[in-house]
């Protein structure tokens, strides 16, 4: 790449004493690729500032100027010009001095000094010689520079307790940027990016940092560092707003809130307002809605919500919620024998209280159980009321008073009581089943039909054999049903029966080979014992008995 276009810096006033002024015209060219600068000083100007002080017509004007690059070459140019008296003259043509210098390693311009001496033959009132003060071109014209411009940092956005993003302006001709982060402990880290923003990660919470940015062009020329930008990792997490509850029941509610600025998640605490030992739960979540369950009815709770970003907390917001009472359950009753079964609907309670009242609504019995069904038993006939309420340490709304009546239920007597079989010492009776009976009671009377011989109860079968009776004797019986409460119903009509007579038993004795009818013999013909075979005629059949001697 060659030198670029000539850049005009204009006139430099090198010297004046109030009557005369001497100036020079400066131009420069840049070769950025080769990091060189060409500066040209041309056209010295000498002029009178008033009508009194003039140049002599016949006097020569000698002027000289030179360049000095600090630590480098000095170039001198000497020239002489005749300037008409009283006028102003600008030289043109080839009256100039050119110097080529290299940029410093960082792309900056080295110190370039210009000095010019003005020697003139002027009227008798003027000093014939003047010296300029040496000028530094770099100081006079700071735009002579190979560096790209430095970016301007516009913002550092702390996005979490350990991350932050720096943003800066784009620079013309810059192809990359060097982002330098200075830590609170003075450690320095530099990152390179082609974007005009860069995100730092793994920063330390609650620490202070300073960031600067440099531009770099395609040739490796870097700008000066930008103005430093300091920031702190203390994130300002906004306060939660619009914290409300919805869908409240006796054991739960839902909390919602708006997103908090810079919050990445939320810390929520729910506690029993009067006794946190009964309920004190903590939650962490990113959602802005929380369902709280397993609460006690009609109890005040405090909800505390804070926006969080890492370990940085926002200001907390509180909400007070009183759970509902349990709704009044619906109640149903089933009437039994001297009892009532009470059931209720599920209202979400862990326990239910069942209360029984008499006809004047005076409390007779109260039971709290975990189920939803309770039986009040051993009730006498009469009118009653029951009511039920959900309970979990607090009572909900009571149901209404549900009325019912108990009438003493006497089971009908069994039908079909009859004698199935009799023997001389027993009798078997049977009967029909009675619905709802849990058993039966059998009564046995003597022939007077009023004197009770025995009562057999409970009998759970539909037949029974009475034993221990006398042969050829009349007996009488009746039967009643027993309900689930153990009470007997009415008895059947009395029925009579007679046990059978004893059968004749004939003993056939075989004595000396001759069968004889009679009693059993143990001794026959004195002391001489004979073998006796005894045969029993039982129910008309001959049975061989054991042989005896």
Instruction: Tell me the pLDDT tens digit for each residue of 443-455.
Output: 999 988 888 999 9
Q: What is the mean pLDDT of residues 66-94?
A: 45
Residue 172 to residues 98, 159, 190, 438, Cα–Cα distance (Å): 29, 29, 22, 106
Beta bridge partners of 225: none
Handedness of CA 365, 367, 373, 374 (dihedral sign): negative
In this predicted structure, what is the pLDDT of residue 20?
A: 57
What lies within 8 Å, CB to CB, of 526 at 6+ separation is none
Q: Which residue has the tokens 């004046």?
A: 16
pLDDT at 28 over 50: yes
C-alpha span between 106 and 128 (Å, rounded): 45
Cβ neighbours around 428 below 10 Å, total:
16
Residues 332 and 319 sit within 8 Å (Cβ to Cβ): no
Tokens of 462: 């539909």
Counted residue by residue, the chain has a size of 549
Is the peptide bond preceding residue 458 cis, with omega within 30 degrees of 0? yes
Tokens of 428: 């078997």
In this predicted structure, what is the pLDDT of residue 83?
A: 34
pLDDT at 458 over 50: yes
Most confident of 48-52, 65-69, 362-366: 362-366
Q: What is the mean pLDDT of residues 370-381?
A: 93
Please report the domains of the chain, with CATH numbers, ordered by start residue.
Answer: 7-140 (2.60.40.1470), 153-232 (2.60.40.10), 244-322 (2.60.40.10), 331-406 (2.60.40.10), 418-498 (2.60.40.10), 507-544 (no CATH)
C-alpha span between 438 and 482 (Å, rounded): 6
In this predicted structure, what is the pLDDT of residue 50?
A: 56
In this predicted structure, what is the pLDDT of residue 436?
A: 85
CA 285 to chain centroid, in Å, comes to 4
Q: Which of 78-87, 169-178, 441-450 has the lowest mean pLDDT?
A: 78-87
C-alpha span between 488 and 484 (Å, rounded): 10
Q: What is the pLDDT of residues 179-229, one digit of tens each?
A: 999 998 889 999 999 999 999 999 988 889 999 999 998 878 788 899 999
Confidence category of residue 97, pLDDT binned at 50, 70, 90: low
Q: Which of 134-148, 478-492, 504-518 has the lowest mean pLDDT?
A: 504-518
């Amino acid at each position: 790449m060659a030198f670029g276009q000539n850049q005009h810096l204009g006139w430099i006033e090198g010297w004046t004493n109030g009557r005369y002024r001497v100036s020079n015209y400066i131009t420069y060219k840049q070769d950025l690729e080769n990091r060189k600068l060409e500066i040209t000083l041309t056209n010295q100007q000498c002029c009178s500032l008033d009508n009194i002080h003039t140049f002599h017509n016949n006097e020569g004007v000698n002027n000289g100027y030179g360049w000095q690059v600090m630590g480098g070459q000095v170039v001198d140019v000497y020239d002489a010009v005749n300037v008409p008296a009283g006028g102003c003259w600008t030289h043109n043509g080839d009256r100039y001095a050119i110097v080529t210098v290299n940029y410093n390693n960082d792309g900056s311009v080295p110190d370039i000094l210009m000095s010019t001496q003005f020697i003139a033959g002027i009227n008798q009132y003027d000093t014939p010689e003047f010296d300029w003060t040496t000028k530094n071109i770099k100081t006079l014209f700071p735009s002579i520079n190979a560096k790209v411009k430095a970016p301007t940092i516009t913002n550092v956005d702390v996005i979490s307790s350990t991350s932050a993003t720096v943003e800066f302006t784009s620079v013309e001709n810059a192809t990359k940027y060097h982002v330098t982060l200075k830590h609170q402990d003075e450690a320095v880290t530099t990152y390179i990016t082609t974007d005009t923003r860069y995100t730092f990660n793994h920063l330390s919470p609650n620490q202070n940092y300073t960031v600067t940015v440099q531009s770099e062009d395609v040739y490796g020329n870097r700008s000066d560092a930008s103005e430093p930008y300091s920031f702190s990792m203390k994130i300002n997490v906004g306060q939660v707003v619009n914290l409300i509850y919805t869908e409240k029941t006796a054991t739960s509610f839902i909390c919602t809130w708006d997103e908090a600025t810079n919050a990445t998640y939320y810390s929520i605490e729910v506690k029993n307002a009067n006794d946190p030992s009964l309920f004190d739960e903590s939650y962490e979540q990113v959602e802005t809605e929380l369902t709280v369950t397993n609460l006690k009815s009609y109890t005040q709770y405090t909800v505390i919500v804070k926006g969080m970003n890492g370990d940085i907390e926002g200001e907390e917001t509180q909400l007070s919620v009183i759970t509902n009472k349990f709704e009044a359950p619906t109640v149903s009753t089933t009437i039994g024998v001297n009892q009532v079964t009470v059931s209720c609907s599920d209202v979400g309670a862990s326990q239910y209280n069942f209360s029984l009242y008499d006809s004047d609504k005076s409390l007779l019995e109260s039971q709290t159980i975990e189920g939803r069904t309770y039986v009040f038993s051993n009730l006498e006939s009469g009118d009653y009321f029951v009511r039920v309420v959900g309970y979990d340490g607090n009572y909900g709304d009571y149901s209404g008073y549900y009325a019912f009546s108990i009438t003493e239920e006497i089971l009908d007597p069994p039908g079909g009581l009859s004698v199935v079989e009799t023997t001389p010492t027993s009798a078997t009776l049977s009967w029909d089943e009675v619905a709802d009976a849990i058993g039966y009671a059998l009564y046995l009377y003597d022939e007077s039909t009023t004197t009770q011989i025995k009562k057999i109860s409970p009998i759970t079968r539909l037949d029974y054999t009475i034993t221990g009776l006398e042969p050829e004797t009349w007996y009488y019986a009746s039967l009643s049903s027993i309900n689930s409460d153990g009470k007997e119903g009415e008895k059947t009509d009395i029925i009579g029966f007679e046990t059978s007579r004893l059968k004749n038993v004939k003993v056939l004795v075989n004595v000396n080979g001759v069968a004889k009818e009679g009693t059993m013999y143990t001794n026959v013909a004195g002391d001489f014992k004979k073998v006796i075979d005894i045969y029993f005629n039982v129910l008309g059949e001959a049975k061989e008995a054991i042989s005896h001697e």
